[in-house]
Amino acid sequence: MKKILSYLFNRFITILLYISGSITSIIVILIVIFLFSEGSGLFGKKPTEEGSIMAVNKTNKVKHLNAEQIKLIFDGEITNWKTVGGKNDSIILFRMDNITDYYTEEQIGENFENLPKCISQVVDSMPGIIALVNKKYIAKDFAGKELKIDKITVTDFLFGKLWFPTAQPVAVMGALPLLLGTFWVSIFAILFALPLGLATAIYMAEVAHPTVRNILKPVIELLAGIPSVVYGFFGLIVVVPLIQSVFNLPVGETAFAGSIVLGIMALPTIITISEDAIRTTPRSMKEASLALGATQWQTIFRVIIPYSSSGITAGAILGIGRAIGETMAVLMVTGNAAVIPHSLLQPVRTIPATIAAELGETSQGGLHYQALFTLGCILFLITLIVNLAVEFISRKRKRVEA
Amino acid sequence: MYKIESKNVNLFYGDHHALKDISLQMKANTVTALIGPSGCGKSTYLRLLNRMNDLIDNVRIEGEVLIDNKDIYARGIKIDELRKKVGMVFQKPNPFPKTIYENVAYGLRVNGVSNKNYIEERVTRSLQNAALWEEVKDKLKKSAFELSGGQQQRLCIARALAIEPSILLMDEPASALDPLSTAKIEELIYELKDKYTIVIVTHNMQQAARVSDRTAFFYLGELIEFNDTKEIFTNPNNQRTQNYITGRFG
């Protein structure tokens, strides 16, 4: 009886472990599938609103425009058709509201019954016109021609320099400023955190008295447990005003502030992993170096660091991974301007901050919503690459040790 | 005049009295073997001579250790200078994860030598003296880890020889090696005697008998007997030495 009970109990535990393992795996896979299915829907869609079209004069040579060009035209930054491949003629903007500049309300008619004819005439009469018109006001014998708008492509999305996902009449979704903003902030965070982290790791592993180390290590590990919003708060109250006054800037919310806060956040990862790697350097290696008359520092720089370099690299890459994915603190201190960064003392916007800030404003299934999911996919791929790199490096390390 | 001389040396690891009143003298260009059962203090004594024990916390040393008539525990002694003079080979081969060439050149580089030709000459000479040159001359740029255990140990000897010490300490240098490699190391010790004063710790009685001129028998932190090797192995004065070398305990 006891035997049977114990057998059943063991079976039960096995099945429980099996179920929990498979459920977790399935959930992870489902999340990834969901992310990519939502994100991939963006490509091949037109960046305009449903129901409206762009119309130009028949004589216009331009056949199609991309979202970025249309945005610049409607912002008045492109004023000549020559810039977008047409003939030398200035661009005249026409929106539905502008019809009253050309026709009286009587001419249009009480129920807009003459509107299609009017629009047709306006478009026909001006060679330089570009008209944003609702589809239902296009006459059957429309005198102009419809301008084709380029669909969103992967290249446009990845290398487009403008991020205006809610712009009218077309949404412009170029993620390059966000990608660069993310890398910009992360790279400087690492440049700042790696020397500091490495120095701390060396100090803790090789120089510090055991008592000091026993105090320092838990304190540094505690750093990893502080919620990121608290770091953001610290950045906003301390780092941002400091940068503003030191560099005499109009605003202190800059990439630099983000880098500093992210650097501090990446420190515990870098320190703990590098310190562990440094401590795995065999005692015999250190003794061999010292016995040859090397000083402690020569031993550290010529033997210990080279020996633990793969561990240190792994720590640095994981630190970068943390920096790339960090959302809240960055959102709070970087100023969130979606422009391609040229200096550190300039607001930038990172991918995670964009998703967090904008997702609340989107309609589910809309273009903007899908664009944010695509950004999520990109972020996922970046961190995946980072983790694979760490895996690769630590595998290499095991081979060296074996 | 003695090359190495210790006068009434006591060493404590915290409360543990590891070396008790050790007085030993070693002449230049001799091989001295330190024998005794595990934990008898022979390795501790060896590591006293290049101040390797300094790396351990809570070590206290009393008495004098003289090398070339200078107290190496006196104030103002530069430890790295001392270690240049007193080379050491460890129990397990411990080459650096560098090329064969760089392993041998390491000691020169950390001592500020940057003359390429000189380094190359020293590396070649050291590898020749360690009887390894013929085996590695075509693969100096290969990792030291590609060598066999015996070759690695001879590489470690070459590495120690490169900085031209006058004393060579060997802590059971052949204990991790096969008989053939052991024979090579022993042969090497015999040849190196001309230029160096060698102190070797060994567990292997035959080895001590084969390679050394003088033998010191340690037991429980005390120096029981120190005499010519021949005397120790054929006609020991002390009963405990007799018992140990005949294998009655150990």
What CATH number is attached to the domain comprising A138? 3.40.190.10
- pLDDT mean across residues, chain B: 90
Using CA atoms, how far apart are residues A49 and A67, in angstroms rounded to an integer? 12
Residues in chain B: 250
Confirm whether A157 is domain-assigned: no
Residue A296 one-letter amino acid: Q
A16 lies in the same domain as A58? no
CA A228 to chain centre: 17
Among candidates B215, B218, B221, B219, which has minimal Cα distance to B10? B221
Whether residue A358 is predicted with pLDDT greater than 70 in this model: the reply is yes
Q: Does A164 fall in a domain?
A: no
| Residue with the two structure tokens 């930054």 | A77
DSSP state for residue B202 in the 8-state scheme: -
Chain segment B167-179, per-residue pLDDT in tens: 999 998 888 788 8
Mean predicted confidence (pLDDT) in B37-59: 89
Nearest CA in chain A to B158: A292
Phi and psi at A243, nearest 5°, equal -65, -40
Here the tokens at position A9 are: 């109990």
Q: What is the enclosing helix (H) or strand (E) of A161?
A: none
**Among A54, A56, A62, which Cα is nearest to A88's?**
A62
Asked if residue A130 has pLDDT above 60, the reply is yes
Residue percentage of chain A with pLDDT more than 70: 99
Counting residues of chain B whose pLDDT is more than 90, the rounded percentage is: 57
Residue A198 sits in the same domain as residue A336? yes
* Domain contains A301: yes
For residues A64 and A26, membership in a common domain is answered with no
Residues A135 and A229 in one domain: no
Sheet containing B197-201: order of strands: B70-71, B59-67, B4-13, B16-26, B222-228, B214-219, B31-35, B197-201, B167-171, B86-89
End-to-end CA gap in chain B: 34
Between chains, do B96 and A303 touch, taking CB under 8 Å as contact? yes
Examine the domain organization and report whether A248 and A278 are in the same domain. Answer: yes
- Tell me which of A113, A137, A152 is where a domain ends: A152
Is residue A119 domain-shared with residue A186, that is, in the same domain? no
Last residue in a domain, options A84, A118, A152 = A152
User: Which residues of chain B approach chain A closer than 8 Å at the C-beta?
Assistant: 50, 52, 55, 57, 80-81, 83-84, 87-88, 90, 92, 94-98, 106-107, 109-111, 156, 159-160, 163
Amino acid at A144: G
* Model confidence at A399: pLDDT above 70: no
Asked whether residue A159 is domain-assigned, the answer is no
Count the domains in chain A: 3
Query: A229 and A115 in one domain?
Result: no
Which chain A residues touch B if contact means CB-CB below 8 Å?
Answer: 210, 282, 284-295, 298, 302-303, 306-307, 400
Instruction: Tell me if A204 is assigned to some domain.
Output: yes
User: Are A287 and B97 within 8 A, CB to CB?
Assistant: no
- Do both A232 and A347 map to the same domain? yes
A-chain residue closest to B144, CA distance: A400
Question: Which chain B residue has the Cα nearest residue A309?
Answer: B97
Assess whether A19 and A65 both reside in one domain. no
| Whether residue A135 sits in one domain with residue A104 | yes
- Evaluate whether residue A89 is within a structural domain: yes
CATH number for position A380: 1.10.3720.10
Query: Same domain for A30 and A139?
Result: no
Is a pLDDT exceeding 50 seen at residue A402?
A: no
Phi/psi region, residue A200 (left: phi>0; alpha: psi -120 to 50; beta: rest), is alpha
Candidate from B81, B97, B163 with C-beta closest to A400: B97
State the ipTM, two decimals.
Answer: 0.89
Q: How far apart are the first and last CA of chain A?
A: 49
Looking at A137, A152, A167, which one is the last position of a domain?
Answer: A152
- A46 found inside a domain: no
- Chain B residue numbers with beta carbons less than 8 Å from the beta carbon of A288 are 90, 94-96, 156, 159
Question: Is residue A128 in a domain?
Answer: yes
- Is there a single domain that holds both residue A62 and residue A126? yes
What is the span of the domain harbouring residue A28? 1-40
What digits encode the pLDDT tens for the residues A239-283? 999 999 999 988 889 999 999 999 999 999 999 999 999 998 888
